[in-house]
Amino acid sequence: MTVGNDQAPSGIRTSKPDELHVVRQPLPRHDQAEKIAGSTRYAGDFAFASMLHARLVRSPMPSARITARDASAALAVPGVVAVLFGEDVPHNLIWVDVPGQTVEVAALKASMEVLTTDRVRFHGEPVALVVAETEDALAQACEQVVVDYEELPAVFEPDQALAAGAPRVHETGNLLSEWVIDRGDVDAAFASADVVVEGSYQTQPVDHAYLEPEAGVGWLDDEGVLNLRVATQVVEHYRDVARILGIPEARVRVIAPYLGGGFGGKEDMTVEPYLGLAAWRTKRPVRMQWTRQESLLARPKRHRMQLRYRTAATRNGQVIGQDIDITADSGAYAYLSALVLLYSSVHACGPYRVGNVRLRARCAYTNNPPTSAFRGFGGMQVVFGYEAQMDLLAGALGLSRAEIRKRNAIVRGDRLPVGQVIETEVLLAQAIDAALERAGDKPLPSGEGKVVGRGVACNLQSYGRCVWLNDSAAAWVGFQLDGSLSVRCAVPDVGGGQASSLAQIAAEVLRVPMDLITVHFGDSALNPLAGTTTATRQLLMSGNAVYEASSALRANVLRAVARTTGVPADGLALDEGLITGPGVAMALTEAIVLCRRLNVPIEALGTFFGPKGTPVVKNLQADRVFPDFTFGAHVCDLEVDLDTGGVELLAYVAAHDVGRAINPRSVHGQIAGAVAQGLGMALLEEVVVEEGVNLTAGFFQYLIPTATDIPDIDALILESGEGMGPFGARGIGEPPIGPPPAAVASAIEDALGVRPTRLPITPERVLHCIAAAGGGPLQEQR
């Protein structure tokens, strides 16, 4: 559906729907056939003859000092080529410099050592790298590496880690990051409020659970360049590998084939430094693939967060104050935690006008497994808190859940608590109405002992990276002499159709059929760099880069024809291989040859620079933090079994303003996939860690939803035409994952009268709600 007036703010590349020919068409993605056939070659499918194999030896303890190491027995295993410790790494440090970390010395911003040398801080930390001729020799040798540990005091709860006298995970202290918002007079707002509601909510650590584990192959080519073909969301990791090895960046190439899922789990380096180290050291091709157990054990998870909210409102439902406290668990190392916490802080009040705001957000080091990027990137967890508060207000004031949200919905021109003004159209109220209309009447219970509930949840989610990171992306577009088109952009395609979207954008501008366009992507050496496929940024960044390059190329061709025919370029049209104008009808292929004769380029490089902003430290007051936001509203219908606490999802509607749908089929897939992943977090998924030991060893323990658990997701696409991407598109990869846990909790509260406040919402926790609704004692939700 198209909603909005299509009058976009200055600087937004947009077109009216009836002006578009290729964009907004539900075209098959160009990778569709091979993925359906199962012929796509992922990172783990690539191999060399006589290649070596590599594996990490990992710590069995969450907090210990390494007192001794011995590789002699492992090296004696036939077929073992090398056993490497931290001292064998030229520059044994991986560090991430992001806004908000409390320590300003770069060396102390270490995410972790490549191979830890003397101190272990989490269960699964890499302590040695073994390289062998065969997988069997590798397995045997890893068992023979001797590492002696002296157990050290540990801390596992963020609140305890921040308390005085807690064991220090790092010498600099356990406070990794802190953000503060103090806007208006919060105390006066609460004193004058007609109603105040408060709640405490907890989200859990969850795993990315993608189909493709971390994998790759590394080799030296004939020019002595280190090539890494790996499952990654960031080809720019070639720079990190070069720094670790102490070699020029131009000597490292990262190739990212299609990913079997990323969701942020392949944003940080996984196999890259170890493959680089092994291949550079042995001068032979090396393969590394983590097992599922290793993946679940050691890769950073989504941040566990404790959310405490107090909300003040007038009797007519206007929110006038929020008092928010957020505590996040970073685990043992920094990774991207400070940046994740920034996102949580900026998004903490949701898509609502809230008047006065006091927020304190802290992230603590613990001896738990590290946490880092995950789809939604800190903006997801807080939805569980602010949407619960809206439901509490609705109940206290006797308003419907839809009405309380619409009365407080942000509109264009409103200012977020951080200080950023919303510059684009907001269709939140329309999304709420559309979702409820599509949902229809609430279903009836299926039988005795069953109750049904309907939940509503909304959110805002930024797209594009924080503007303090000086983001940019580049793309090259060029005609071949036969009229076919090549698009080159180093964007990693993580399964969201990133490469196909670039082809569709180029096809719209240059009116070239999709089957004549080839996209070369995911290669740091052969394509212009486009930055990370993270933060719902690629459509904004690489999409605009392709738009700029295609527009420049179109102008070149029309200018050449104008010089020859005398018809002004603005009087010429390019359409399906033909250039027309008054007295002009020239085939595109003829125009391309004409350009060569006139020394007019038939290729163009486009570079798009994202919005810029001035960083702040700790106190969050800024004119701009993110380029823009996507808004949405979800409705969930479910049934609760009063005897077992079981929850059956009956129907789910998700409505989002995507600005302009480049490919509605891909948009629908992104919404449905994100909702399914969010429902998994709502009801099933949790990485269980006890005293720092990760007990989650496989998918037989880590439960993810299957097709039998999830109803058909009804995705409603609203188009305001006011996104900052090409043709007015907004990012949609991350936004739909935020509302599902809140929508499920809202529906359970609607059915039972008691709201779950801790994720995941297991049958045991539902039974607790049932007992509480029946007048039993309300215990802590465990």
CB 369 within 8 A of CB 124: yes
Architecture of domain 305-466+615-773: 2-Layer Sandwich (3.30)
Tokens of 386: 């602010």
**Pairing between β-strand 578-581 and β-strand 573-575 as defined by DSSP bridges:** antiparallel
Angle, helices 272-282/238-245, rounded to nearest 10 degrees: 50
The pTM is what? 0.96
**Pairing between β-strand 319-331 and β-strand 472-479 as defined by DSSP bridges:** unpaired
What's the distance, CA 429 to chain centroid? 26
Helix (H, G, I), strand (E, B) or coil at 59: coil
**Same fold? 44-152+214-289, 305-466+615-773:** no
677 phi, psi to nearest 5 deg:
-65, -40
Between residues 776 and 563, the one the model is more confident about: 563
Tokens of 120: 């272990």
DSSP state of 444: P
Using CA atoms, how far apart are residues 660 and 1, in angstroms rounded to an integer? 10
CB 116 within 8 A of CB 34: no
The band of 14, judged by pLDDT with boundaries at 50, 70 and 90, is low
Tokens of 223: 């020019």
The domain defined by 17-40+472-609 folds into: Aldehyde Oxidoreductase; domain 4 (3.30.365)
Strands (E), 117-209: 119-120, 126-132, 146-151, 175-183, 195-203
The band of 104, judged by pLDDT with boundaries at 50, 70 and 90, is low
pLDDT at res. 2: 57
Residue 781 confidence (pLDDT) above 60: no
pLDDT at res. 110: 60
Sign of CA dihedral 546, 547, 548, 549: positive
Question: Hey, what's the torsion of the CAs at 119, 252, 490, 488, to 10 degrees?
Answer: 180
CB 254 within 8 A of CB 228: yes
Amino acid (one-letter) located at 550: S
Amino acid (one-letter) located at 405: R
Tokens of 102: 């409390």
Q: What is the pLDDT of residues 488-515, one digit of tens each?
A: 999 999 999 999 999 999 999 999 999 9
Helix (H, G, I), strand (E, B) or coil at 612: coil
Between residues 428 and 298, the one the model is more confident about: 428
pLDDT at res. 720: 97
- Where do we find the tokens 């979702």? 435
The band of 10, judged by pLDDT with boundaries at 50, 70 and 90, is very low
pLDDT at res. 102: 77
Domain spans of the chain, in order of start = 17-40+472-609, 44-152+214-289, 305-466+615-773
Tokens of 395: 């109940």
**Pairing between β-strand 647-657 and β-strand 517-521 as defined by DSSP bridges:** unpaired
Bridge partners (DSSP) of residue 219 are 227
CATH of region 44-152+214-289 = 3.90.1170.50
Residue 16 confidence (pLDDT) above 90: no
Helix (H, G, I), strand (E, B) or coil at 319: strand
Bridge partners (DSSP) of residue 296 are none
Lowest average pLDDT, out of 24-38, 325-339, 406-420, 543-557, goes to 24-38
Using CA atoms, how far apart are residues 518 and 528, in angstroms rounded to an integer? 15
Q: What is the pLDDT of residues 271-320, one digit of tens each?
A: 999 999 999 999 999 999 999 999 999 899 999 999 999 999 999 999 99
